[in-house]
Structure 1
């Protein structure tokens, strides 16, 4: 770890060994703490910037909060321990005194510079939300980050102000030290930190008072009241819902929020207010043939409506009924199931950006976006300059330099070095590169985000000069074509979970997943699943009344003896019974690859519903604590029965062994019902295609039945995790006019046989 030069005479009387051991231990301790701090930085940045799907889970939130809380105290301890000049003295049995005068001035500066870079990253990934008070989601700029920045500035002034002049310790003022290139770069770093904090505070308070952003739900509600049913311009176009331009129109307060001063058709047409029908009906080479771009603007409009629901306005107050006819008449009639899911996914993406992104407060404003990009470019330039300037300091070989003297023996002065200086260099360069990456990511998000696309499209619609200028058209077209998967929140995947784990994975990753109680796997949503759900939605009234259970006994003609399974059952009971039956049928099935679309739909939705019961019961109709306890009880019985595993060579043998294991001892009632239903379905294997078709319809109806909910907070948490299929369906159903479940009693056997 350390190294030293050979000492002159007097080694037998002066306590050199004790001095070496003490300084090497101190060097090891400092570097160990710096390594811990580096790990904490990785956790902070990884979870804060790139782990949005996991940031809001309890375990990762604990890691993030712990790393944020411990980083600065550890760094301060290291700086206070190595900063400045300090004396150490050792005495041996002969009363010979060895005096060591040590300093680590440049190491201290690098550590403080490292802390400054971490502050920039922390500011970049901090979330600021400026919403309506009714939403209850306002999150101002972090005062803790401001205090940490001030404390880091104090450490820089107090400790980094000490310099060395031929090992004679001379105190230089901070202003004098700033004359050097490195000092100027450090000063620039602090300027960037406080500029970013000032920008965050200014943007937060400005956006919070903006009628187009922070107060927008109140205006949307007032605007929807002002609209009349005759304002829809075309059968294929959406109603004139707000997109952008509210800040350019005169508004006034009213008892229930805000409304526009003039609301005649002429005023709406001539002012700078952009509504979705203007974009939809625009016949233009740039936008006229691009359904994708028009759909992004539609998603932005729907996002504004959905914000009203998060602001605790009712569906009627927010005017959801104005858009449901358009959904039924256009989107759900086009036969493009992927398009419907994409529109709602983009809507939830806008909502995620607004509530959980670090850039949402500056997305909609052109000036704030440009200012933020300028600050980011300055930050990138400063980091690159810092890495370039540090090239001249690679000659420093040691982290600590000590001047050693033994007065009793009149030994010659020795200069000893401890620690490897390259450790500090590597850490600073890695962090500087990390800052560059985060700043570049922010700049790219401004250019490629859907917010920018909507703003450009609205500007293009409002300004005729843009439409007539070939240069403007070219610039707008290039930006609109820009896409980046890095900023895609919705992964188009669904979690999968199964009670009957016939062959549980034994990899370390799978064991860790079971230890921290995470879903077993995540799969891309098959197109067949989307098509089946949309087809069920087109005939939603029956599934809404019976929660899907009426179709299965009637279609399969299983008779009255099985209908008792579904009488007086909760939703979670029904889902688990049918999940177990579907899993048993999957084992029994003779069908080989490729599987039919109906089988793919039934198995994927069955495992997804089991995941909802196990991991997200708050999104289901039944009590969440009861659902979770029910799943754990059934899962425990199933695992106990299948502990020995399934050993069979054919699907039929595997099926018989599975049923035998699940029937040899008393089991939970839900497990018994699931096995009995599974046996009955497997007994009709000659009608396999029909069985899978009916099960696909049942599970599609079931997921539509459980999706409507008033649990807005639960869906908000799901959006924070990156989105759930049931949350996407929740938003879709609200836009087509389905906002709650039927409270009718469960359908009886006499009704379905």
Structure 2
């Protein structure tokens, strides 16, 4: 026993001696004052990156299981990483030269005379690990890959030259060679993703294929319907059972390319359609038990609609009138009517489908994880076979570094790398902890090694989290349903498949967020005005504005209004048609285009709604209408202030209108009342009612404009104040609010539908831009308008009839 203890103590003593020499080698460059700044800079740069990656992976993983990295974070990381390699290459060269100078001064000779210093090797490790982590920032695009990939290939080639032309010891070259092999494998992997996806009919060419398919499908359906059902139409679930929209497997339909697109086969039994999934979920015992709430069926509908929506983003011909008519019936007469149960279930189902579709679009164009390619085959190829291939390549690199001697190569890995030896890391950590309090050199060494360990942990975490995101993604779930629907009965009865799909659905229910649709709320009279003084990107990044779930009352009201507009006609449905005293406030006030007019109407009714809310709180019977009015009012004001590119008309004109209103509000409230409202409310006991009174006074002079000329002379704030006073008076006459809140709520529903449709490229690209930021509710409405053929002419125009005649 004593001998064992003595041997253990002797081993630890020798290990601490090695640690001491390592500390000296690692920190010797700090003693050279000329290199001190560069050495400290290297540690600080990598520490900042390691901390950023650690927080990014940890907190994004806890908050949500997603395949999209926030664009603002991605921009910051990409800019930092673009400077990382040149800076670290310079610091590597400095450390290499310092090590060579120290070796020459010490008179060292021998075959390892030119071996890199420990400091240079540590910097090289950091460079390799950060290159492996870089994929967290890079989107996977099914488009041209040459620009980004060539740049990354250059970085990988440069790192390879640093590894294989600077390291001499076989064990060290093998370890660094393994890291470089992983970098090269990730590069080839990303190139394969994009190249295969770009050439595939299932991904890159899918939008063009779907156009050809839809044209043929609608023609065949029209002939069959005319033959078998000449006088009637289907609705509810029956319409969904007959739906032939593509879900997966359509690449097998292509016969040959032709001028108008692709010639496809008429046999669609080999592909998975919405109708096939819907029918199977009703007849198959497993799917029926797993999809009692129709969530999986609706997910397939969302995926099929996503394929139709892609043409809007890829400058392809838009949906034809026949396609929009068919899609309109599917969504409103099938999904909306079929799920309706009197309590808004149809609206919830409709917006759930559209929200999932928006997520599919966002992940297709902005994903940093290969969820787009998700399938059981890709799972096997990418996460089982590819690691085996990379493992073989790493073994080949190890053997080549040892000049073909396998045993020598494996032994040299441990002998040339102290941290790779058994117990080496634990012993080194204990020795460092003992010396860190008394030795500055040990402290700096502990910092550098902690940075390296943190990078390794983040790398492992990222790989595991990517696999989790892949398994739990909607893409993989749809691919599983496709595989299940396409397989034979024997495979469907497989106990392994049943166990796997149940476990995945259980994990999805526990880990995926179910917040549903959310939108931000902003009020020009009550929200924090710090959000307006800061740049819009900063305000949104700091989450100053509250985000709330879209109320079910809002979904129900919009769905009802759109259904009536599409099937019953939109003429004469204006919310203020029976209230002539409110019509002038719905007229646009010039400014060079209808877009500016819509923005003026939004701001006018937003100010009036805030005044009505403060001076005439809704009664219990009006709570639903008040929720619709209040939340939509604040959301539309948020769009005007922070996302004018999503609204109709010229973005610059919209910004000018809002800025003029904001400047006038500063004059009405005063500098202190505008900028220090919370402080004044606390010190002077100012209330929101007091501020509303000040705003109302701004519109007293011209409460009810009698002519268009007088209306145009009023500012937006004055019109909002005058309208607010008129609504308050009307509520007082009706008693307890009467139908005022119903009118205001209907106006906001009409405005929301009015601004949603868009076909111009600027606004479409605006919707694509906001998708990775979490998306916007108006983007969901826009997608719904695209599918159902709603245009701004269909939406009810709030301009009075006499003004319309003049125009």
Give the shorter-chain TM-score range: 0.7 to 0.9
Q: Deviations over 1:670-728 (max 9, x none)?
A: 11111100111122243425222211111111111110101321211122322110110
What TM-score, normalized by structure 1, do the two folds share? 0.79
Asked whether the 8 Å contact 1:107–1:424 carries over to 2, the reply is: no
Give 3-state SS (helix, strand or coil) of 2:547's partner.
Answer: strand
Q: CA deviation at 1:530?
A: 1.7
Match of 1:602 among 629, 643, 646: 629
User: Whole-Å Cα distance in 1 between the matches of residues 147 and 100 of structure 2?
Assistant: 46
2:5 corresponds to: none
Asked whether the 8 Å contact 2:240–2:335 carries over to 1, the reply is: no
Q: CA deviation at 1:745?
A: 7.7
Q: Deviations over 1:222-271 (max 9, x none)?
A: 111211225689434252111111234452212121132x31xxx323xx
Q: Does the alignment pair 1:118 with 2:134? A: no
Stretch moving more, 226-235 or 603-612: 226-235
2:799 corresponds to: 747
2:25 corresponds to: none
Q: Deviations over 1:161-205 (max 9, x none)?
A: 2xxxxxxxxxx35xx234xxxx54432222211111112212322
Q: CA deviation at 1:357?
A: 0.7
Asked whether the 8 Å contact 2:750–2:796 carries over to 1, the reply is: no
Q: Does the alignment pair 1:37 with 2:60? A: no
Asked whether the 8 Å contact 1:141–1:201 carries over to 2, the reply is: no
Asked whether the 8 Å contact 1:543–1:701 carries over to 2, the reply is: no
Corresponding pairs, count: 674
Match of 2:767 among 715, 733, 740: 715
Give 3-state SS (helix, strand or coil) of 1:554's partner.
Answer: coil
Higher strand share: 1
Asked whether the 8 Å contact 1:585–1:678 carries over to 2, the reply is: yes
2:476 corresponds to: 452
1:497 corresponds to: 522
User: Whole-Å Cα distance in 2 between the matches of residues 525 and 124 of structure 1?
Assistant: 31
Asked whether the 8 Å contact 2:164–2:177 carries over to 1, the reply is: no
CA spacing shift, 1:205–1:111, aligned 2, 3 Å: same
User: Whole-Å Cα distance in 2 between the matches of residues 564 and 386 of structure 1?
Assistant: 79
Q: Does the alignment pair 1:638 with 2:665? A: yes
CA spacing shift, 1:751–1:561, aligned 2, 3 Å: closer
Asked whether the 8 Å contact 1:211–1:219 carries over to 2, the reply is: yes
2:231 corresponds to: none
Asked whether the 8 Å contact 1:129–1:138 carries over to 2, the reply is: yes
Q: Does the alignment pair 1:474 with 2:492? A: no
1:404 corresponds to: none
Higher helix share: 2
User: Whole-Å Cα distance in 2 between the matches of residues 747 and 510 of structure 1?
Assistant: 30
User: Whole-Å Cα distance in 2 between the matches of residues 280 and 20 of structure 1?
Assistant: 69
1:10 corresponds to: none
Match of 2:221 among 220, 226, 229: 229
Q: CA deviation at 1:397?
A: 5.9
Asked whether the 8 Å contact 2:371–2:476 carries over to 1, the reply is: no
Give 3-state SS (helix, strand or coil) of 1:259's partner.
Answer: strand
User: Whole-Å Cα distance in 2 between the matches of residues 471 and 21 of structure 1?
Assistant: 59
Asked whether the 8 Å contact 2:247–2:300 carries over to 1, the reply is: yes
- Write out aligned runs for 1:125-164 (5 A): 125-131=137-143, 142-159=149-166, 161=167
Q: CA deviation at 1:128?
A: 2.1
CA spacing shift, 1:465–1:112, aligned 2, 3 Å: same
Give the root-mean-square deviation of aligned CA atoms: 4.2
Q: CA deviation at 1:435?
A: 0.9
Give 3-state SS (helix, strand or coil) of 1:315's partner.
Answer: coil
2:180 corresponds to: 190
User: Whole-Å Cα distance in 1 between the matches of residues 184 and 726 of structure 2?
Assistant: 69
Asked whether the 8 Å contact 2:646–2:766 carries over to 1, the reply is: yes
Q: Does the alignment pair 1:736 with 2:788? A: yes
2:614 corresponds to: 587
Q: CA deviation at 1:293?
A: 0.7
Q: Does the alignment pair 1:73 with 2:92? A: no
Q: CA deviation at 1:26?
A: 3.2
1:357 corresponds to: 367
Asked whether the 8 Å contact 1:302–1:347 carries over to 2, the reply is: yes
What stretches of structure 1 of length at least 5 have no aligned partner?
A: 1-18, 90-97, 132-136, 162-171, 399-414
User: Whole-Å Cα distance in 1 between the matches of residues 127 and 188 of structure 2?
Assistant: 19
User: Whole-Å Cα distance in 1 between the matches of residues 534 and 668 of structure 2?
Assistant: 23
1:682 corresponds to: 728
User: Whole-Å Cα distance in 2 between the matches of residues 87 and 385 of structure 1?
Assistant: 25
2:35 corresponds to: 26
Give 3-state SS (helix, strand or coil) of 1:319's partner.
Answer: helix
Match of 1:63 among 76, 89, 97: 76
CA spacing shift, 1:286–1:388, aligned 2, 3 Å: farther
Q: Does the alignment pair 1:703 with 2:749? A: no
Asked whether the 8 Å contact 2:67–2:369 carries over to 1, the reply is: no
Asked whether the 8 Å contact 1:543–1:705 carries over to 2, the reply is: no
Asked whether the 8 Å contact 2:298–2:353 carries over to 1, the reply is: yes
User: Whole-Å Cα distance in 1 between the matches of residues 668 and 32 of structure 2?
Assistant: 61
CA spacing shift, 1:253–1:29, aligned 2, 3 Å: closer
- Write out aligned runs for 1:263-274 (5 A): 263=266, 267-269=267-269, 272-274=270-272
Q: Does the alignment pair 1:627 with 2:637? A: no
Asked whether the 8 Å contact 1:243–1:274 carries over to 2, the reply is: yes
Q: CA deviation at 1:483?
A: 1.0
Q: CA deviation at 1:353?
A: 1.5
User: Whole-Å Cα distance in 2 between the matches of residues 110 and 220 of structure 1?
Assistant: 52
Asked whether the 8 Å contact 1:577–1:670 carries over to 2, the reply is: yes
1:299 corresponds to: 302
Give 3-state SS (helix, strand or coil) of 1:735's partner.
Answer: helix
User: Whole-Å Cα distance in 1 between the matches of residues 535 and 528 of structure 2?
Assistant: 12
Give 3-state SS (helix, strand or coil) of 1:268's partner.
Answer: coil
Q: Deviations over 1:138-173 (max 9, x none)?
A: 7876322222222223223344x2xxxxxxxxxx35
Give 3-state SS (helix, strand or coil) of 1:497's partner.
Answer: coil
